[in-house]
Chains A and B, each alone.
Chain A
Amino acid sequence: MSTLEIRDLHVSIETDQGSKEILRGVNLTINSGETHAIMGPNGSGKSTLAYTIAGHPRYTVVSGSITLDGEDVLAMSIDGRARAGLFLAMQYPVEIPGVTVSNFLRTAKTSLDGEAPALRSWIKELRGSMEAMRMDSSFAERNVNEGFSGGEKKRHEIVQLELLKPKIAVLDETDSGLDVDALKVVSEGVNRVKENTGLGVLLITHYTRILRYITPDFVHVFVDGAVAEEGGPELAERLENEGYDRYLTGSSVG
């Protein structure tokens, strides 16, 4: 049982016009086995939250805390956070020239476990996961995300999720750009990992269609760098029908 706790988190970025506050007091608690959906308008700071949890150097934490089972996540290095059990499926996965998927995954697995995985069972696991995600085995010898289609990149993120077995995963718009079949495959993948490992999920999305496959326990409406409202799955339906207007009119005056 793990708990990721985010308390009164304020985060800024450096821009040409000086520092700009993006997150303005985020509070969230995610336990193992729970699925939290975050929905909110473009630019409200959802990816900023995701990257801050993962430790991207572009974001500066001004105040507040992030802890995983009481450990100070903000004091950890990027790779230290992954080793502590955090995972970020990125909105725009990065292409890495000259590094093959199989080399990348084996290196990551070795770093996380502190020892190289047994070759035979590892290859079997890799093949199995790629097959489940409907990725041809030839992807293993291609360079990481290089020339992958948008949907292939997202599926590759979930292959990693399955193989690296984190405690808490942030999925940043993993559903965007997926066709109906891929959406189903990816959702099944996430559910399978949840079932097998008790993964806690923070799922950032614009659409309720993925929430039909991955049922959220909680839905958080994210507006202007903070959680504006919380509720159950029914909140997602309402957002889909009504949009974010009622939150924005209140806050966009200033």
Chain B
Amino acid sequence: MSSAPTTPSIDEAAVPGAQAHSHGPGSPVPVQTRSERFASAAHSDFPEVTGRELEWRLTPVAAVRDLIDDELDGSPFPAIVSEADGVTCEWIDRTDARIGTAGLAEERAAANAWSRFEKALSVTLTTEEPVVVTIDRTGADSTPRAAHTIITAKPNARGLVIIDNRGSARLSENVEVVAEAGSDLTVVSLQEWDDESVHLSSQFGRVDRDAHLKHVVVSLGGSVVRVNPSVHLSGAGADGQLLGLYFADAGQHLEQRVYVHHIAPHTISRVTYKGALNGQGARTVWVGDVLIGRLATGTDSYEQNRNLVLSDGTRADSIPNLEIETGDIAGAGHASATGRFDDEHLFYLRSRGIDEQEARRLVVQGFLIDVVQKIGNAELEARLVAAIERELEAVEVV
């Protein structure tokens, strides 16, 4: 595999800024352009992390230092993949051509994982008959580990893949998601780790012509959890829906840096991330970059992040970012809001006899539920509703 700096290996001709690091002085492209970010599979290509970098300044770097710098155990991360017709699952070599087709590490911890993993877990959906696959990862131990996963939907294949993370782990990983032409793929990365767990996950999506990718990040458990999805809408008519749901308790750091790159014309993206924060030191970060490339005419995008603050002593960062390189778009917008309970909501419910605790529970559930309901799988939705209930039990009336 090449370790040279390169952009994700999408149809080069269609990638604005494909000449990433070679544009000379006088280029009209601003250096901040998201697609020009340095990318490499090699750990050594990235400078030491100080914690002041844009990429890291909101992350508790000291708590993830080993994942950024140290040798990682690259043996296969324990996973049980459910069997189903139309699904193939295999551990593939580092040299396999499928690796690196959806993206490449853009920061040092991801590159560390990319440099160390021994085999990648590849799950491939092949049939039009919708399938549900669970990658059950009940964790390992506190050894710092590296992992690499590739999820592929072949042309016109349909299905849902759940990466179900529980137990304890110190994990840096890369996940590649490829939705080939006409496919309809949902990938849910569910973090219900134990309290001590640390998890850094870069997730790269590539959505080909007329394919739909629904990518969902649900982060509830873990000490530091940073899941960064970047989705490249590389084929005309591609559609990316990026959903996120997080609930940070006292002392928990939950971060998500979302990137949607509209490369091809007539692509659609919808980003909806919602979070709740409760307890001293509950901390969340959401960064949402949307780049509408030069060739991405007639695209439609909207991104939003909303945070509900349930107690004092929390901090939520919410940073939307929209770059547009073409004048011809159908729509582009973003919204970001972080707030407390709406007193009028609570008053209305309580005026009907519902006590304060219950009223808050209803309002928080109601706030988060629309993301849950967009997942489109009843069993998983019910499980998430129950998980949110459990999170809410810890919320005190103030």
Chain B binder among A96-104, A216-224, A225-233: A96-104
Judge whether A94 is part of the interface by a CB distance below 8 angstroms.
yes
Assembled-state Cα–Cα distance A79/B367 (Å) = 21
CB distance from B26 to the nearest CB of A (A): 50
Judge whether A93 is part of the interface by a CB distance below 8 angstroms.
yes
Judge whether B91 is part of the interface by a CB distance below 8 angstroms.
no
Neighbouring A residues of B349 by C-beta, 8 Å: 96, 99, 104, 107-108
Interface residues of B in 338-370 (CB under 8 A from A): 343-345, 347-356, 358-359, 362-363, 365-370
A96–B351 CB distance below 8 A: no
B347: contacting residue among A57, A87, A112, CB under 8 A = A57
CB distance from B392 to the nearest CB of A (A): 13
Neighbouring B residues of A112 by C-beta, 8 Å: 352-353
Judge whether A111 is part of the interface by a CB distance below 8 angstroms.
yes
B344–A94 CB distance below 8 A: yes
Neighbouring B residues of A83 by C-beta, 8 Å: 353
Which residue of chain A is the closest to B359 with respect to CB atoms? Answer: A79
Neighbouring B residues of A81 by C-beta, 8 Å: 351
Assembled-state Cα–Cα distance A144/B347 (Å) = 14
CB distance from A157 to the nearest CB of B (A): 10
Assembled-state Cα–Cα distance A15/B349 (Å) = 25
B366–A99 CB distance below 8 A: yes
Neighbouring B residues of A57 by C-beta, 8 Å: 343, 347
B366: contacting residue among A87, A90, A97, CB under 8 A = A97
A82–B350 CB distance below 8 A: yes
Assembled-state Cα–Cα distance A160/B351 (Å) = 11
Kindly state the interface size class of chain A when it binds its partner. 20 to 34
Judge whether A78 is part of the interface by a CB distance below 8 angstroms.
yes
A90–B348 CB distance below 8 A: yes
Judge whether A56 is part of the interface by a CB distance below 8 angstroms.
yes
Assembled-state Cα–Cα distance A9/B347 (Å) = 21
> Beyond A56-B347, A90-B348, A93-B348, is A82–B363 a contact (Cβ under 8 Å)?
no
A96–B354 CB distance below 8 A: no
> Beyond A90-B348, A93-B348, is A79–B366 a contact (Cβ under 8 Å)?
no
Q: Count the B residues whose beta carbon is within 8 Å of the partner chain — how many?
A: 23
A108–B354 CB distance below 8 A: yes
Judge whether A3 is part of the interface by a CB distance below 8 angstroms.
no
Neighbouring A residues of B353 by C-beta, 8 Å: 79, 82-83, 108, 111-112, 164
CB distance from A17 to the nearest CB of B (A): 21
Provide the A107-134 mask, 1 if CB < 8 A to any CB of B, else 0: 1100110000000000000000000000
> Beyond A94-B344, A107-B358, is A77–B366 a contact (Cβ under 8 Å)?
no
A96–B355 CB distance below 8 A: no
Measured CB to CB, the residues of A under 8 A from B are 54-57, 77-79, 81-83, 87-88, 90, 93-94, 96-99, 103-104, 107-108, 111-112, 143-144, 160, 164
- The 3 lowest CB-CB distance pairs between A and B, nearest first, are A98-B366, A82-B353, A108-B352
Q: A82-B353, A108-B349 are in contact. List 16 more A-B contacts (CB 8 A).
A: A90-B351, A94-B345, A96-B345, A96-B363, A97-B366, A97-B367, A98-B365, A98-B368, A99-B365, A104-B349, A108-B353, A108-B354, A112-B352, A143-B366, A144-B348, A160-B352
Q: List 24 A-B contacts (CB under 8 A).
A: A55-B351, A77-B350, A77-B355, A78-B350, A79-B351, A79-B355, A83-B353, A90-B351, A94-B345, A94-B347, A94-B348, A96-B345, A96-B348, A96-B363, A98-B369, A98-B370, A99-B363, A99-B365, A104-B349, A104-B362, A111-B353, A111-B354, A111-B355, A112-B352
